Structure 1
């Protein structure tokens, strides 16, 4: 029996995680869930603890983590979010962030031309280096002479392994996105690692775009993309753009993986959405699809496909929350998916 760690978190996190656990339960695959509902903003506010060693020990005893959402507006200036998410990423070396993006129904696309709407790709984002590595600081804070520095960290090891994982994920093509023409040092490293990785995978087509061109092409030719691989910050930006083209972040799942150990953190992209928390209107689809990613990763491919089909059927029938143009509540949408399953 596989064991998973569940961190409901903050805002709409507990609401959508409850829905995901109901779906996993009805599938009957026998997952055992260790729920860490104390890892949340309230505990951090009270005790100053984000994720401690005891919590990490419980996580390490499982096969994967299902996380709802982390974050609250009154804690934006603290290390709370980094203390949870970056602690998990670095403790388990979850270097490959994988965000599949699919247009689930034609009516959800914001693009005017039906012929341009097709989107079915995966954005592979380096998850432990880059601008989000936390290296840097401020000098002469809050003065007219203040200097702020954030270092963009790229290593041969880190870049090479994310590129190889992108090739492993690809069906037909890998597109590298960078800004090597302007960001020279890191760009040179990415380009050299890219050349060598492509030589190791001659069976897969390759393409290269600068980040500005890639953003444009995602809007004008989204159907051309199969796998996009990019640095931490570029991948973060492109994945949200792609999610908007597919109907919004309420449909966006993600996985942060260590392909060597097999361990993964699975999290819907939408965040804690404090403005709608507690109203019962949060879209559960992203978390349900994230749960599907997780069980597919654990080997339950048939059951994962059943979740995808149930979500697609619910969307096609208009059984959706207000953000997708419907009128159903979070629980009503979940009941529709459960009925389909």
Structure 2
């Protein structure tokens, strides 16, 4: 029995998590997997009602679970930094989820906004707990003409080495090609340090071909020749931006999954679709559940059920192939429920 903490969150989060749980139940029944769920109402609504995104003992509560399935957080009445630093980022850091894994594919039947995008199948490996998204810094002279803000990026040898090693190992299981995102021609301390460690760690993976690209040129190449990339490793900020860009190349951020991993498995890992809470479409029944379902597939794979994970991805491939089983963001006509039903039918067929 695997225990899964479920945090539906805000906006379309509850809708896509409900869909993901239905699909998870179907694939689990077919593969003899036992999952138990405990749902938590931690969200912006809770913040507005009680002054906190989650209770003071929230992290201790989550520690008892094997995995965390998250819908989305964010609401117009709550500042983004409040929702992120009140829930998502504390979970990532407390549980040492230093890998943010974001696979990207252009599926048959889904039009990329790019002309002749070709067979895009890449993974962005984002450093997830340090880098540019640190708490180091502050504000001074608030409200005065000389007000200032300082934000410091934190890059450690241990942190960079472990994310680079993970990316090289992953590339070795795929097409054997890694790209490192940098900007060492303009950021004179942290990114040259990053480059040095990438070169050092590369020596341990002689079978993997690798290169380094400046982030501005790399963003352009994601649009011009996305099919050339296999595994892309990047710092927290660069990985965040590149993965959303790549999801847009694939046709919709609504299908993009992510995994926040502690590869040591000492702590629970967390799985969430990349899309936000999308309050503008919440409650309309048209939210795309594929990102949440694909995230659930990543969860199953992490929990040691690769065959079930592959079956979920195959069901996604099947339903995305025709407009009648795609949501409107992908040019389809199906509702969230209809896509979910089609995914289950594909699994059971």
Q: TM-score range with shorter-chain normalisation? A: over 0.9
Give the Cα separation in 2 of the matches to 1:107 and 1:231: 29
Which of 314, 319, 325 aligns to 2:319? It is 314
Deviation digits for residues 196-219 of structure 1, max 9, x if unmatched? 110111121111100011111111
Superposition pairs of residues 33-72 of structure 1, within 5 angstroms: 33-36=37-40, 38-72=41-75
Task: Select which of 261, 266, 283 maps to 2:271.
Answer: 266
Q: Give the corresponding residue for 1:153.
A: 154
**Residue of structure 1 equivalent to 2:113:** 110
**Contact map agreement 1:111 1:117 (CA 8 A) in 2:** no
2:329 match: secondary structure: helix
Q: 1:98 aligns to what?
A: 101
Report how far residue 147 of structure 1 moved: 1.2
SS at match of 1:312: helix
Q: Structure 1: which 5+ residue stretches go unaligned?
A: none
The Cα offsets for residues 260-305 of structure 1, whole Å up to 9 and x where unpaired, read as: 1263110000011111111111000100111011101111111111
Tell me, in whole angstroms, the C-alpha distance in 1 between the residues paired with 2:199 and 2:321. Answer: 43
Alignment of 1:193 with 2:194, yes or no, is: no
* Matches for 1:176-325 after TM superposition, within 5 Å: 176-261=180-265, 263-318=268-323, 319-325=325-331
Residue 233 of structure 1 and its aligned partner are, at CA, apart by 0.4
Q: Corresponding residue for 1:79? A: 82
Task: Decide whether the 8 Å contact of 2:109 with 2:320 is kept in 1.
Answer: no
Contact 2:109–2:321 under 8 Å retained in 1: no
**1:133 aligned residue:** 134
Matched, 1:339 2:342: no
1:326 paired to 2:344: no
Local SS of the residue matching 1:295:
helix
Please report the TM-score for the alignment, with normalisation by the length of structure 2.
Answer: 0.94
Q: For 2:295 and 2:278, how far apart are their aligned partners in 1?
A: 17
Q: Secondary structure at the match of 2:273?
A: coil
Moved more, 91-100 or 102-111: 102-111
TM superposition shift of 1:42: 1.6
Any unmatched runs of 5+ in structure 2? none
Which has the larger displacement, 11-20 or 326-335? 326-335
Label 1:107 to 1:10 Cα distance change in 2 as closer, same or farther (>3 A). closer
Secondary structure at the counterpart of residue 267 of structure 1: strand
Aligned length: 338
Q: Distance in 2 between matches of 1:169 and 1:280?
A: 36
Supply the RMSD in Å over aligned alpha carbons: 1.3
Q: State the SS of the aligned residue for 1:108.
A: coil
* 2:7 aligned counterpart, secondary structure: strand
Instruction: Measure, in 2, the Cα distance between the counterparts of 1:78 and 1:121.
Output: 29
Kindly tell me: are residues 218 and 77 of structure 1, through their superposed partners in 2, closer, same or farther at Cα, counting changes over 3 Å?
Answer: closer
Give a deviation string over 1:126-167, Cα, whole Å, max 9, x none: 011112112212222233322121111111111111100101
CA deviation profile, 1:49-80 (whole Å, cap 9, x unmatched)? 22234322231111110000011111116623
| SS of alignment partner, residue 265 of structure 1 | strand
TM-aligned CA deviation for residue 102 of structure 1: 0.6
Distance 1:288 1:77 in 2: 25
Kept in 2, the 8 Å contact 1:322–1:328? The answer is yes
**Structure 1 range deviating more: 44-53 or 150-159:** 44-53
